[in-house]
Amino acid sequence: MKLACVVQRYGLEVVGGSESHCRSIAERLAAHHDVTVLTSCASDYLSWKNTYPAGASAVGPVRVQRFAVERPRNTHRFAELNNIVASGRATADDEAEWFRENGPQVPGLLDHLRAHGREYDRVLFWTYRYSPSYFGVPLVRDRAILVPTAEEDPVIWLRSVPEFFTLPRGYVFLTPEEADLVRSRANAPLPPSCVIGTGLETAESVVAGVSRPGPFVLYLGRVDPNKGCETLLRYFQQFVDREGARVQLVLAGPVFMPVPSHPAIVPLGFVDEATRAALLNSALALVVPSPYESLCIALLEGWNHSRPALVNGRCRVLKGQVMRANGGLFYGNATEFATALRELLDRPEMATQIGRQGLEYVNQQYRWPTVMHTLETFLASS
């Protein structure tokens, strides 16, 4: 098949969740299909400043066609639009402007789809919220496969979204909860779809652990209020203030918010892959406090290392993942957080067994051959 993959940014240095997902899939599809990635010249998702040269290039086994961003994001105007959108008072024009300003604005990419879209058998779009997908899907709707990466955030409630969700020819979802969410928002029954999640390589068991005084729970990723870290830090401080320093919280990721100075809270900042793996091998549990997710790769990584999870139960995706895997506990408030954490600390054998169950789930669902088989079957039949 001749396939195009449309994504807002693309490159080895680009580390966003949907961008990494697109690259992993595109590289594997390229083994059996003629694949072209259509993307912007930007590498930064906040400014959308052009950093890569426009035109054709290759990234690994994949042909990449880059288009220049017409203008960087107007951050002040975007903040205003965000507030209008969050307030629920957005008009159709406000919404269209939000999608344009969210960017990246790549008219060349849209012109390419208009002129050459029909030359591809299927055009896969990643992330409905970005401009190339939102304005690109209608141009090739008869062959558009959308990977929406939808979350329960304010954007999903925009009035234009239900109509947009009826446009693609097919859907590739990351979790059943994401499929339910999109189905509940679409104006009409959804076209054929599949749920693939993502693939993981087997974790190296030979990686040494890290030496820390006593047990610790691990948070992986950006330390950011939007990721639920403010609430996590508050719940955790309440726990150690009440129960003593029985456990530490290790934060492994770049810090974008004030972290309280507390002996039981250890912010490590960005860590390399080896340290990340070592931390995963040694942690008592992986904690995932995010309120919005379409798929949490860190959660799967934790299970890949046989670690039990402690997740925010208010996020349907996280709770669903944990329940299906039998691979962790969840909380909805500070008392439940404390009770669940106490359970993991007081019953280490139970914690180990839950971690094992998580690994078993990853082995069944999230190895690349399984993921690609599901996707290839879907693309061939849709």
Partner 1 sequence: MENRIDVSQLMADIRMRANAELRERAFDRGNTPEFSDAELFDLVERVLRGAVDDADRKVLLLSEILAGNKDVTLEPSARLTSHRPVVGPFIVFVKRRLLQPLTQWLYEYSMDNFRRQAQINRILFATVQALAIETARLRLELDAAHDSASKRGSGAA
**Residue 198 makes contact with partner 1 by CB under 8 A:** no
**What are the CA-CA distances from residue 164 to residues 139, 183, 186, 227, 272 (Å)?**
12, 12, 8, 27, 39
CA dist 277 and 265 (Å) reads 20
Q: Judged by CB, which is closer to partner 1: 67, or 292?
A: 292
CB 24 to partner 1: min, Å = 28
Site map 308..327 versus partner 1, x via CB under 8 A: ------x-------xx--xx
State the number of binding residues for partner 1 (CB under 8 A): 33
**Residue 336 makes contact with partner 1 by CB under 8 A:** yes
- The residues in 136-155 that bind partner 1, with binding defined as CB under 8 A, are 152
Q: Which of 280, 329, 345, 371 binds partner 1 (CB under 8 A)?
A: 329
Q: Judged by CB, which is closer to partner 1: 61, or 225?
A: 225
**Residue 305 makes contact with partner 1 by CB under 8 A:** no
CB 326 to partner 1: min, Å = 5
CB 339 to partner 1: min, Å = 4
CB 88 to partner 1: min, Å = 8
Segment near partner 1 (CB under 8 A), from 28-36, 137-145, 277-285, 346-354?
A: 346-354
Q: Judged by CB, which is closer to partner 1: 287, or 329?
A: 329
- The residues in 49-108 that bind partner 1, with binding defined as CB under 8 A, are 76, 79-80, 83-84, 86-89
As to burial, measured by CB atoms within 10 angstroms (0-12 exposed, 13-18 middle, 19+ buried), residue 20 is middle
CB 340 to partner 1: min, Å = 5
Q: Judged by CB, which is closer to partner 1: 27, or 80?
A: 80
**Residue 335 makes contact with partner 1 by CB under 8 A:** yes
Segment near partner 1 (CB under 8 A), from 33-41, 55-63, 190-198, 350-358?
A: 350-358
**Residue 275 makes contact with partner 1 by CB under 8 A:** no
Q: Which positions touch partner 1 (CB under 8 A)?
A: 76, 79-80, 83-84, 86-89, 152, 157, 314, 322-323, 326-330, 332-333, 335-336, 338-340, 343, 350, 353-354, 356-357, 360
